[in-house]
């Protein structure tokens, strides 16, 4: 279930949008986001042009529109909440439709980017943009072991659920803390093994 | 607490991005200097751990649930510089891979949860654990630091949203700070319980930090403290400060465009001119101070309970 929520659409998918160089996509996305955030709301041409470009890219990418919209809806509760608050309390400038449009466009851009570009390619684009190597290595390791640790925590949750019968409140809190602590212990033990493996393969 | 795109205007996003770039730059330099290569994979694994741990929801009063941010926990385990890098990695992956938190708001989110959360929270943790010796002090520090970090991050978030005129400060501040004063109790509790669990299974992970951090970190601490103070001065002080003159001079000093300055200065003033707001403001401040003292007492109690009886299950649960 977790995997469904987090999963992306780029296994086995191929389209002109998928094949574009990652760096170009990344910088285009960043430009679109920066422009959408900075441009004043009465520049309707910008918003229309960006919306047209994004819909074209979405069509060309051959990702199911339903999937993209579902992802958008899943991510927007906070946006909807603030838009609602803003609609009720008239604020100084920037009406709530502008807020909704801006957030929507940016969210859609990121969803599209993430679903047409693998993270590894984004990382190599970052590396060639001279992002510090330590940060890129950390990101790469994190992405590599993210799903391993998510599976590990899922196994721990299942093991715990099959062994505990009573779910008193304070026991539940204690268990949550123990699970988090245990997860860290396992992660740090795994880090030691990874370092040994890296050295064995001639790292550095 | 992840701010999406479109909620911050250019000046706020740029200021926050600059502050967090400085913070991450400092952290990278510090880590490169003092982290042994053998610990390098631990950064990536800790980031993956934090991501997985943030998926664990805990119940908050009233049917809602919060989740761990974990900045102070990681800072207590790995040191503040490593924690800032770990949080940066987590936020970058959440932003680009899962579209959780905006790209243009990445700087702000990183400032709130990384610099204010991990850096500011670590300051509190150090302060408490230097006063109270041993594991008990550390546990109390993680609990209290976690609460402070959550509240600080929410106040920073409210200040940024208000500075961008997305939500008025008078709405954003009570909403964000109020909710997170409750969520923060859960954060502190889970952090402390996890810390105790780690200390029990692998005491050397916890013990390793204590002597090392005593010797080398103070200069780093000072830098993060400065950054935290600077951020609070920029994002929060203009709204919390009741004197228009101070406000005006801050705005002028930072060199905003004329229209931006007038918008910033004129918007909050009517609120502060209202009769009786002074007593309300001091009442809020008093309530905040009392709440902080109460939470510190709870953290102290938690440390005492968790550490004195190592094998018994914990009993303190103030939030439910």
Of all residues in chain B, the one with the smallest CA distance to A119 is: B97
Q: Report how far residue A116's alpha carbon sits from residue A119's, in angstroms, rounded to the nearest whole number.
A: 10
**One domain for residues B52 and B137:** yes
pLDDT of residue A119: 84
Q: B159: domain range?
A: 10-239+285-308
Tell me whether residue B317 is in a domain.
Answer: no
Nearest-Cα distance to chain A for B176, in Å, is 12
**A82 → chain B, closest CA residue:** B167
CB B303 within 8 A of CB B136: yes
My answer on whether B247 and B235 are in the same domain is no
Interface A–B counts its CB contacts (< 8 A) at 250
CB pair distance less than 8 Å for B98 and A142? no
Does B313 map to a domain? no
Distance from CA of A91 to the nearest CA of B (A): 7
Res B42 pLDDT > 80: yes
Residues of chain B neighbouring A119 (CB-CB closer than 8 A): 93, 96-97
**Smallest Cβ distance to B194: which of A91, A177, A188?**
A177
Burial of B37 (0-12, 13-18, 19+ CB in 10 A): exposed
Rounded CA separation A114/A117 (Å): 6
Residue B279 lies in a domain: no
Domain assignment of residue B4, yes or no: no
Q: Regarding predicted confidence, which is higher, A127 or B282?
A: A127
Provide the domain count of chain B: 2
Report how far Cα A146 is from the mean position of its chain's Cα atoms.
Answer: 12
- Residue B5 located in a structural domain: no
- In this prediction, residue B273 has a pLDDT band, given cuts at 50, 70 and 90, of very low
Cβ contact, residue pair A134, B195, below 8 Å: no
Q: Are residues B266 and B181 in the same domain?
A: no
First to last CA, chain B: 21
CB contact under 8 A, A89 and B196: no
User: Could you write out the three-class secondary structure of chain B?
Assistant: CCCCCCCCCHHHHHHHHHHHHHHHHHHHHHHHHHCCHHHHHHHHHHHHHHHHHCCCEEECHHHCEEECCCHHHHHHHHCHHHHHHHHHHHHHHHHHHHCCCCCCCHHHHHHHHHHHHHHHHHHHHHHHHHHCCHHHHHHHHHHHHHHHHHHHHHHHHHHHHHHCCCCCHHHHHHHHHHHHHHHHHHHHHHHHHHHHHHHHHCHHHHHHHHHHHHHHCHHHHHHHHHHHHHHHHHHCHHHHCCCHHHHHHHHHHHCCCHHHHHHHHHCCHHHHHCCCHHHHHHHHHHHHHHHHHHHHHHHHHHHHHHHHCCCCCCCCCCCC
Mean pLDDT value of segment B218-242: 76
Residue A100 has which token pair? 């909704």
pLDDT above 80 for B280? no
What number is the average pLDDT over the span B164-176? 80
Do B53 and B143 reside in the same domain of the chain? Answer: yes
Are B235 and B245 found together in one domain?
A: no
Tell whether B103 and B184 lie within a shared domain. yes
Q: Is residue B315 part of a domain?
A: no
Please check whether residues B156 and B266 belong to one and the same domain: no
For residue B47, pLDDT beyond 80: yes
On the question of pLDDT at B243 being above 70, the answer is: no
pLDDT of residue B252: 46
Please tell me whether residues B255 and B146 are part of one structural domain: no
B228 pLDDT band, cuts 50/70/90, is confident
**Which residue has tokens 């918007």?**
B267
Whether the predicted pLDDT of B260 surpasses 50: no
Poorest-confidence range of A141-145, B275-279, B297-301? B275-279
ipTM of model: 0.84
Instruction: Check residue B251 and give its pLDDT.
Output: 44
Give the nearest partner residue to B165 out of A91, A119, A143, using CB atoms.
A91
Would you say residue B280 lies in a domain?
no
Confidence of residue B30 (pLDDT cuts 50, 70, 90): confident
Q: How high is the mean pLDDT in each 10-residue block of chain A (204 residues)?
A: 50 70 86 84 82 84 78 72 68 65 85 84 88 90 90 87 71 82 92 90 80
pLDDT of residue B248: 43
Q: Is the pLDDT of residue B198 over 60?
A: yes
* Residue B254 clears pLDDT 60, i.e. is over it: no
Range with lowest mean pLDDT among A178-182, B31-35, B40-44, B56-60: B56-60
pTM listed for this prediction: 0.81
Residue B257 confidence (pLDDT) above 50? no
Residue of B nearest to A179 (CA): B194
pLDDT at B205 over 60: yes
B44 and B110 assigned to the same domain: yes
pLDDT band at B87 (very low <50, low <70, confident <90, very high): very high
- If asked whether residues B57 and B135 sit together in one domain, one would say yes
Confidence band of B55 (pLDDT split at 50, 70, 90): confident
**Banded model confidence at residue B261, pLDDT cuts 50, 70, 90:** very low
Q: How far B156 CA lies from chain A's nearest CA (Å)?
A: 17
What's residue B69's pLDDT? 84
Beta carbons of A179 and B56 less than 8 angstroms apart: yes
Residue B196 reports pLDDT greater than 50: yes
The pLDDT of residue B282 is 66
Best CA proximity match to A101, nearest among B96, B7, B11, B164: B7
The closest alpha carbon to A73, from A29, A52, A104, A32, belongs to A104
SS3 A90: coil
For residues B264 and B78, the model is more confident at B78
Both tokens assigned to B180: 């997170």
Mean pLDDT of chain B: 77
Report the gap between the CA of B241 and the closest CA in chain A (Å): 20
Do B194 and B266 belong to one domain? no
Residue B20: pLDDT band with limits 50, 70, 90: very high
Q: Does B183 map to a domain?
A: yes
Tens digits of residue pLDDT in A21-70: 888 888 888 888 888 888 877 778 888 888 888 888 888 877 777 777 77
* pLDDT tens-digit map of B108-128: 999 999 999 888 899 899 888
Residue B48 pLDDT: 92
Q: Are residues B105 and B85 in the same domain?
A: yes
CATH of the domain at B180: 1.10.1760.20
Q: Which residues of A touch B109 (CB under 8 A)?
A: none
């Amino acid at each position: 279930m977790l995997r469904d929520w987090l999963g992306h659409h780029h296994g086995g998918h191929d389209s002109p949008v998928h094949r574009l160089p990652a760096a170009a996509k990344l910088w285009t996305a960043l430009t679109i986001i920066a422009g959408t955030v900075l441009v004043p709301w009465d520049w309707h041409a910008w918003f229309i042009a960006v919306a047209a470009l994004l819909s074209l890219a979405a069509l060309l990418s051959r990702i199911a529109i339903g999937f993209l919209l579902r992802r958008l809806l899943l991510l927007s509760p906070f946006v909807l909440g603030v838009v609602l608050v803003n609609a009720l309390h008239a604020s100084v400038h920037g009406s709530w439709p502008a807020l909704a449009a801006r957030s929507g466009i940016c969210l859609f851009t990121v969803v599209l980017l993430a679903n047409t570009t693998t993270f590894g390619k984004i990382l190599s684009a970052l590396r060639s943009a001279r992002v510090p190597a330590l940060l890129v290595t950390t990101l790469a390791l994190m992405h590599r072991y993210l799903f391993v640790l998510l599976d590990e925590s899922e196994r721990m949750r299942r093991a715990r659920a099959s062994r505990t019968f009573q779910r008193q409140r304070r026991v539940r809190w204690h268990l949550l803390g123990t699970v988090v602590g245990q997860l860290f212990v396992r992660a740090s033990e795994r880090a030691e093994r990874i370092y040994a493996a890296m050295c064995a393969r001639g790292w550095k | 607490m992840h701010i999406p795109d479109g909620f911050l205007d250019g000046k706020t996003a740029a200021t926050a991005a600059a502050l967090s770039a400085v913070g991450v730059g400092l952290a990278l330099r510090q880590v490169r200097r003092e982290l042994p290569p053998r610990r390098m994979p631990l950064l990536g694994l800790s980031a993956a751990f934090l991501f997985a741990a943030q998926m664990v929801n805990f119940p908050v009063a009233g049917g809602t649930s919060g989740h761990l941010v974990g900045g102070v926990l990681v800072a207590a385990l790995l040191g503040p510089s490593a924690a800032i890098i770990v949080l940066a990695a987590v936020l970058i992956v959440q932003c680009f891979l899962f579209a959780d938190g905006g790209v243009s708001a990445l700087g702000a989110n990183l400032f709130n949860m990384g610099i204010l959360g991990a850096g500011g929270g670590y300051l509190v943790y150090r302060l408490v654990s230097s006063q109270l010796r041993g594991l008990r002090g550390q546990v109390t520090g993680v609990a209290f630091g976690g609460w402070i970090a959550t509240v600080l991050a929410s106040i920073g978030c409210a200040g940024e949203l208000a500075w961008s005129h997305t939500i008025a400060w008078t709405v954003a501040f009570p909403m964000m700070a109020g909710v997170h004063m409750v969520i923060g109790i859960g954060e502190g509790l889970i952090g402390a319980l996890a810390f105790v669990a780690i200390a029990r299974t692998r005491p050397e992970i916890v013990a390793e930090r204590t002597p090392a951090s005593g010797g080398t970190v103070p200069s780093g601490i000072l830098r993060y403290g400065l950054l935290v103070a600077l951020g609070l001065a920029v994002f929060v002080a203009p709204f919390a400060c009741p004197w228009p003159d101070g406000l005006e001079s801050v705005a002028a000093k930072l060199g905003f465009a004329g229209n931006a300055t007038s918008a910033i200065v004129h918007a909050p003033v009517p609120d502060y001119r209202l009769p009786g707001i002074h007593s309300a403001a001091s009442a809020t401040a008093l309530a905040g101070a009392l709440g902080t003292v109460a939470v510190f007492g709870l953290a102290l109690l938690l440390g005492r309970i968790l550490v004195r009886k190592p094998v018994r299950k914990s009993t303190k649960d103030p939030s439910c």
